[in-house]
Amino acid sequence: MPEADETLDRIAARSAFFRVGTGAVDDTWRPTSALRDPAVRDALVAATAERMGVTEARVAASTWFFGYVARLWSVTVGSLADAGRCVRLDPDELLWRDDSGVRLHLADPEFGDTATELLDFQIEPLVEAWSEVVAAGPLWGNTASALIGAGRMIGPEAEPHVAALLSDPRLADAVDPRTGRRRSCCLFYRTPAGGVCGDCVFPTPPEVRPTELA
């Protein structure tokens, strides 16, 4: 049976979204549990807003959160597809650093018990902390959409794992199973680029008055 670090090495070949460093690191890395800290959250949101050219904190928060959970799902579903077991991404053990983009690291990777550990210990507490900036509905929508996206990147071998995870009550209502569309919007239409995602609840971008973005 493969070791967790061997699994991480294999899935990292897919893309940077699947990459997690391993081994000893210096103290510039922080546990991902720190992402729940309002000061850390607000600094990340402000930096993201500046980079995107948006004035609404909720838009920047949704964007950053989406990218982060996409990374988490890529590793979780990727390891399930590769080894039949998910690498544990415990928020006190999984480290992060912002080097013009979030990097992830596990000093001593190991396999977890079930994939729902990611929802229980990483994502649900983060939704609770970040819902002070953007509503929980879009954050859970981002979580479900990122899970589906990770599964598509991996391929057919990920489909049963994605389907099982989407049956979790926290995700079951986030996507319409008939249409594949989300039941909430990630707010991308409120960025200067505008537009809606392929699974957006809105078929076309809602009209945004200039005063709403001031």
Rounded to the nearest integer, the mean pLDDT of the chain is 91
Burial 3-13 (b: 16+ CB within 10 A, else e): ebbebbbebbe
d(CA 7, CA 19): 11
**pLDDT-derived band of residue 213, with 50, 70 and 90 as boundaries?**
very low
Handedness of CA 170, 166, 147, 161 (dihedral sign): positive
CA dist., res. 198 & res. 189, Å (int): 12
> What SS3 state is found at 22?
strand
Q: What is the mean pLDDT of residues 86-95?
A: 97
Q: Which residues pair with 21 in a beta bridge?
A: 105
Rounded to two decimals, what is the model's pTM? Answer: 0.93
Task: Convert the pLDDT of each residue in 116-126 to its tens digit.
Answer: 999 999 999 99
Residues in CB range of 40: below 8 A, 6 or more apart: 34
Element (H, E) at 79: helix 57-83
